[in-house]
Amino acid sequence: MFTVSGWGTCGTQPRSQHCPEGPWVGGHLSARNSTQADSGSSEDEAASEARSTTSECPSLLSITAEDNLGGDIVDEQAQQEDLEEKLKEYVDCLTDKSAKTRQGALESLRLALASRLYPDFLLERLLTLADALEKCLKKGKGEEQALAAALLGLLCIQLGPGPKGEELFHSLQPLLVSVLSDGTASPAARLHCASALGLGCYMAAADIQDLVSCLTCLEGVFSRACGMGGSTAPMAPASLHGLLCAALQAWALLLTICPSTHVSHVLERHLPRLPQLLSSESVSLRIAAGETIALLFELARELEEDFVYEDMEALCSTLRTLATDSNKYRAKADRRRQRSTFRAVLHFVEGGECEEETVRFGLEALYVDSWARRRIYAAFKDVLGSGMHHHLQNNELLRDIFSLGPVLVLDTTALKACKIPRFEKHLYNAAAFKARTKARNRVRDKRADIP
């Protein structure tokens, strides 16, 4: 378990005549594929409509890939300037009258900010971005609101724990809460508002009141699905499973920075009720509930070493059933994911240790050795996607949160000199494969003498 200082350490420009609308990735944000798998038919229709949108303008990522093909030929400074020019066009398009153009610009900015760092560029246009996101959240519908909320989370990650990031989050926090609490809003929009609220509060909460306010808002989303008191939890519609999962995960993220006095209240109120979510029809929601229960046990044992849960036998029985579930009507990948997660949860709840995971990036490694650390890493991974390694290497905010120290300054020339040529590596692998095959064939021969 680790703490982060500061609650998480943790003017509109004229529109261009040819505004790029940006690429679409599966309709909804690709970073939430696992969560949105259970979001129901209404979200599927929205995704289908989004996929049908075509863009006449090139993708920022495709330009990046083409530039990378040039390797050392393309000057890095010139490449950076080209990328920033494209970003300027996307920022201008955020105020376009066409909803499709605004959505394309939001998606392109989301992809760009997830893959690379642009803190100086964003600081120069922070007022323009804040004004555009406010209008998208207030007047936009469905997909536009979802994209705006996701972009807000990325802006907070890019700007870091400074006053600018905190000011941006607090100016848009009421709109996130408004969309999240609106039962008539799109489930996809509410889902991403829940995630942005949790992530933004984790990095920018100024005091305990801000933290408690966000926790209460997120609790209001999933608490009804847990039932009240000893009552049976009502069956949530499939279209809300993704929202419940996102709200629960965002709530669990904020618990990792809660003071002990509030944690005690949360344990007393929610630990007896969360197990009801383990019977949900949604695999993602069951997994989120199991991981949150493990996190609550971890926090409880930090407060009290000899912590004892009253209904331990029934809880362990439910966890054991989920850890050995082999129902054929579930997808094989879902069964595998569920069994793996609940084996780890059961082992920890019964008194074992959290299984350690190692995340390697560049020449460094991040050790995820607690349920709190797992929740924090997963929250950032969901937002950054494939750009997570780049941010772990270069983003001072993430390096501070995960205690990785200052950004490493590497001598790229020396690294290239030490790199083994691809042809030599191929010859080495071929020789190793041949030797390994011969050794295994000798053992497989029934006539071989095996000691």
Q: What are phi and psi of 278, to 5 degrees?
A: -70, -15
Which is higher by pLDDT, 227 or 4? 227
Is 383 a domain residue? no
pLDDT of residue 15: 39
User: Is the pLDDT confidence value at 311 over 90?
Assistant: no
Q: Are residues 194 and 327 in the same domain?
A: no
Residue 191, domain member (yes or no): yes
pLDDT at 67 over 70: no
Q: Which of 166, 188, 206 is the last residue of a domain?
A: 206
Inside any domain, residue 266: yes
Section 66-78 average pLDDT? 53
Please say if the pLDDT value at position 370 is more than 80. yes
- pLDDT grade for 206, boundaries at 50, 70 and 90: confident
Percentage of the chain exceeding pLDDT 70: 76
> Is the per-residue pLDDT at 144 higher than 50?
yes
Alpha-carbon distances, residue 440 vs 102, 431, 433, 447 (angstroms): 59, 14, 11, 13
Per-residue pLDDT at 129:
92
Q: Are residues 24 and 142 in the same domain?
A: yes
Tell me the chain's radius of gyration from C-alpha atoms.
24
Look at residue 17 and tell me whether its pLDDT is greater than 80. Answer: no
| Joined tokens for residue 68 | 């990378």
Under DSSP, the state recorded for 228 is: S
> What's the average model confidence in pLDDT over 294-321?
91
pLDDT of residue 4: 39
Nearest partner of 158 among 122, 109, 196, 128, judged by Cα: 122
* 130-141: burial string, b at 16+ Cβ within 10 Å, e else: bebbbbbbeebe
More confident residue, 110 or 82: 110
* pLDDT beyond 60 at 71: no
Q: Please give the pLDDT value at position 69.
A: 41
What's the CATH code of the domain at 195? 1.25.10
Among residues 204, 98, 203, 90, the alpha carbon closest in space to that of 144 is found at 98
Do 122 and 171 lie in one domain? The reply is yes
* pLDDT tens profile 228-237: 444 455 567 7
One domain, residues 180 and 236: no
Q: 214 with 200, same domain?
A: no
Judge if 306 and 190 occupy the same domain. Answer: no
Both 201 and 338 in a single domain?
no
The 10s digit of each residue's pLDDT in 420-434 is 788 888 888 888 888
**Pick from 332, 319, 311: nearest CA to 287:** 319
Lowest mean pLDDT among 188-192, 374-378, 430-434: 430-434
- What b-and-e string marks burial along 343-368, b requiring 16 or more CB atoms within 10 Å of the CB? bbbbbbbeeeebeeeeeeeeeeebeb
249: in domain: yes
Query: What pLDDT score was predicted for residue 447?
Result: 54
Q: Could you give the 3-state DSSP secondary structure of residue 354?
A: coil
- Please state the domain count of the chain: 3
Comparing 1-10, 289-298, 373-382, which segment has the lowest mean pLDDT? 1-10
Domain boundary among 305, 321, 355: 355
Q: Using 50, 70 and 90 to split pLDDT, how confident is the model at 445? A: low
pLDDT reading at 284 higher than 70: yes
| Rounded mean pLDDT, 185-200 | 93
Helices 283-303 and 371-384, axial angle in degrees (round to 10) = 140
What is the overall mean pLDDT for the chain?
Answer: 79
Domain membership of residue 438 as a residue range: 420-444
Chain centroid offset of residue 345 CA:
20
| C-alpha distance from residue 346 to each of 166, 228, 290, 330, 339 (Å) | 38, 25, 9, 21, 10
- Structural domain contains residue 451: no
Asked if the model's pLDDT at residue 365 lies above 80, the reply is: yes
Q: Which of 181, 206, 231 is at the close of a domain?
A: 206
What's the CA gap between 230 and 430, in Å, rounded? 63
Do 54 and 198 share a domain, yes or no?
yes
Residue 151 sits in the same domain as residue 264: no
| Per-residue confidence (pLDDT) for residue 422, from 0 to 100 | 83
pLDDT attached to residue 56:
38
Q: What is the pLDDT of residues 325-359, one digit of tens each?
A: 877 777 888 888 999 999 999 999 998 888 899 99
Looking at residue 362, its pLDDT comes to: 85
Supply the DSSP symbol for 364. E
Q: Model confidence at 104, in pLDDT bands (50, 70, 90)? A: very high
**Spatial separation of the C-alpha atoms in residues 155 and 137, rounded to whole Å:** 15
Any domain includes 313: yes
- As a whole number of angstroms, the distance between CA 151 and CA 101 comes to 16
In the chain, the percentage of residues whose pLDDT exceeds 90 is 39
Q: Which of 423, 391, 421 is nearest to 404 (CA)?
A: 391
Residues 123 and 36 in one domain: yes
User: What pLDDT band is residue 210 in, cutting at 50, 70 and 90?
Assistant: confident
pLDDT in tens, 406-420: 888 765 565 566 677
157-185 mean pLDDT: 89
pTM: 0.75
125 and 256: one domain? Answer: no
Domain assignment of residue 388, yes or no: no
Are residues 6 and 147 located together in one domain of the fold?
yes
pLDDT of 319 higher than 90: yes
Query: Is residue 382 included in any domain, yes or no?
Result: no
DSSP letter for each residue of 378-407: HHHHHHHGGGHHHHHHH-HHHHHHTT--SP
Which stretch, 10-14, 218-222, 336-340, 370-374, has highest mean pLDDT?
A: 370-374
